[in-house]
Structure formats: C-alpha cells, structure tokens
Amino acid sequence: MAGTKKSEPGRARRMKIRKGDKVIVIAGKDRGREGTVIAVRPDRDQVLVQGVNLIRKNTKVNYQGQRGAKEGGIVTQEALIHVSNVALIDPDSKAATRAGFRTDGGKKVRVSRTSGKDI
C-alpha cells in the first residue's frame, strides 16, 4: 500500500504524542473534545484519552466488595482511539498543532509546528 507504514511485529513505531499531553480529537464521534492522554500503545498506534471515546462495559460480579458485597454491572470507561484521530494542543494558541523536534546541545526537544514553542 502506498503511504502507509505498518510496524514490524515486535517493533513499535515512534509516536509524537506521549502520556500526559493535552490533545484534541480531530476525527470521529468525539470530534472537538479535549482531554489528557492517560496511556499510549505504540504497538497498535493508539492512545487512551481521558473523557473521550467512552464505552459501556459489562463487568463480571465478584464478591470482593466491602463486607463481601457483590460488585459488578455496567461500567462506563474510556476506550483506545487511533493516534491519527487526535492532535496536540498548542500551549499558546490552544489550537491543534503537529509536533516537531529540535536539538538543543545534543538533547531532543519537542516543539509546536505552528508556533515553534517548546511543548
């Protein structure tokens, strides 16, 4: 396929979005919503964003609650979203931006492509 880069099995591709970044959803049912990245899965090119892509999941009943109470039922939680559907938020303009890299004395620093400021 032209234009797609699939990672080799066992080797994850480098992603420019990291845990703790503020991102905005640019495609899908939650387009326009903002959140913080909770987890990153580079092997699947997916991220977990707080408050975005919520699903309802049935959990099994177990007896681990207080004083042996049953716990289980329907739980609402976040699901993974593809990294191509989210974009970093520029700290200055609060708009979607891409991440680039610059070297400062041998150290790699992430910078915003729109403003050129450090992320």
Query: Which residue type is seen at 9?
Result: P
Structural domain contains residue 8:
no
Cα separation values, 68 from 7, 60, 63, 80, Å:
46, 15, 5, 32
d(CA 95, CA 81): 20
Go through 81-101 and write b for each residue having 16 or more CB atoms within 10 A of its CB, e for each that does not.
bebebbbbbbeeeeebbebee
Helices (H), 1-92: none
Structural domain contains residue 5:
no
Structural domain contains residue 15:
no
Q: What is the mean pLDDT of each run of 10 residues along the chain (119 residues)?
A: 58 84 94 95 94 92 72 89 94 88 90 85
Residue 43 has a pLDDT of 92
Residue 107 has a pLDDT of 92
Count of the separate structural domains present in the chain? 1
**Which range marks the domain in which residue 79 is found?**
22-91
Give the three-state DSSP class for 37: strand
Structural domain contains residue 54:
yes
Structural domain contains residue 50:
yes
CATH classification of the domain holding 63: 2.30.30.30
Structural domain contains residue 12:
no
Residue 118 has a pLDDT of 84
Structural domain contains residue 52:
yes
DSSP 103: E
Q: Which backbone phi and psi does 66 adopt, to 5 degrees?
A: -60, 130
Structural domain contains residue 102:
no
